[in-house]
Amino acid sequence: KPKYSVSRAYSHRRGKRWRKIFTHIYSIPQQNRHAVETNLDAIRRLGVDLQLADKKLILEVNSKSVDKVNHLYAKYKLNDKKVVVIHPTSRWMFKSWNPEAFSRVVDLLVENGFSMVLISGPQPDEIEYVKSIQSTIKNTVVDLAGQLSINECAALIKQADCFVGLDSVAMHMAAAVNTPCVALFGPTRDRSWYPWMVNHKVIAENFECRPCGLKGCGDGMRSECIQAIKPETVVQAVMSLVKV
């Protein structure tokens, strides 16, 4: 049996039996806080005095992944360029922006002196989504969708000057490797999931129904709130974080 075990005080667990399993029980405040702060309450319950540096997310990239990214930078002539990595997909596609809007962002940033790289997970629907973005881009872009491991993605994002993406794992990876982030939010709660302890801009439209947490409007897998975001707003956010 462990010396210490901690659990939240769940309202649906009213009996005493489950409480005896744990040495410490803690409550969650009702205020909207970042998920990191909420999760750290388990440690606070044990009496640990957390300093600001203790709260920072850290993601280590291995040397093999760094070498791979250095090779890609040389191959695509990205050295000495201002590089923006876009991860336009999410595991939950109802969080997705429309492909034409991402294409517009790419073209505007290229015209303003940035070099653009597109990445995604290996799932076929994500790769097809990136292809749909590519089909309407007028300028040159590096397409690495589905070609990199998670650690290689982290290494690429770390070397980039800025990251643009949705409320996704890739966005939190960018925060963990300390790359400035532009994060697009639709139905999910940006107050709980914004890029943590990193220079960032959150883009979210002021719809009275958001954040709803639904799988698109009416559970229809399409979220009007994120579709309402203008490409120019995203471009302005990138340019406020990175000077060309």
97 by DSSP, 3-state: which?
Answer: coil
Q: How confident is the model at residue 13, as a pLDDT?
A: 62
Residue pLDDT, tens place only, 175-186: 999 999 999 999
Q: How confident is the model at residue 160, as a pLDDT?
A: 99
* pLDDT top residue among 112 and 19: 112
Give 63-241's CATH code, choosing from 3.40.50.2000, 1.20.120.550, 3.40.630.30, 3.30.1180.20. 3.40.50.2000
Residue pLDDT, tens place only, 22-54: 888 888 887 789 999 999 999 999 999 999 999
- In DSSP notation, 11-71 reads TT--SSTGGGG-SEEEPPPSS---HHHHHHHHHHHTT----GGGG-------HHHHHHHHH
Residue 237 corresponds to which amino acid?
A: A
Nearest by Cα to 204 from 222, 188, 220: 188
State pTM to two decimals. Answer: 0.92
Q: How confident is the model at residue 14, as a pLDDT?
A: 59
Q: How confident is the model at residue 30, as a pLDDT?
A: 74
pLDDT band at 7 (very low <50, low <70, confident <90, very high): confident
pLDDT band at 15 (very low <50, low <70, confident <90, very high): low
Distance, in Å, from the CA atom of 72 to the CA atom of 153, rounded to the nearest integer, reads 12
Order of strands, edge to edge, in the sheet holding 181-184? 142-143, 114-118, 82-87, 162-166, 181-184, 200-203
Nearest by Cα to 235 from 118, 101, 88, 97: 101
Averaged pLDDT for residues 5-12: 80
% of the chain with per-residue pLDDT over 70: 97
The set of residues, in sequence order, having a beta carbon less than 8 Å from that of 96 and lying 6+ positions away, is 88, 89, 90, 129, 166, 226
Nearest by Cα to 159 from 55, 25, 220, 69: 69
Q: How confident is the model at residue 220, as a pLDDT?
A: 85
pLDDT band at 11 (very low <50, low <70, confident <90, very high): low
For the chain, where do the domains classified as CATH 3.40.50.2000 start and end? 63-241
Mean pLDDT of the chain: 93
Residue pLDDT, tens place only, 192-230: 999 999 999 999 999 989 998 888 888 887 888 999 999
Nearest by Cα to 192 from 213, 177, 207: 213
pLDDT at 134 over 90: yes
208 by DSSP, 3-state: which?
Answer: coil
Averaged pLDDT for residues 43-68: 95
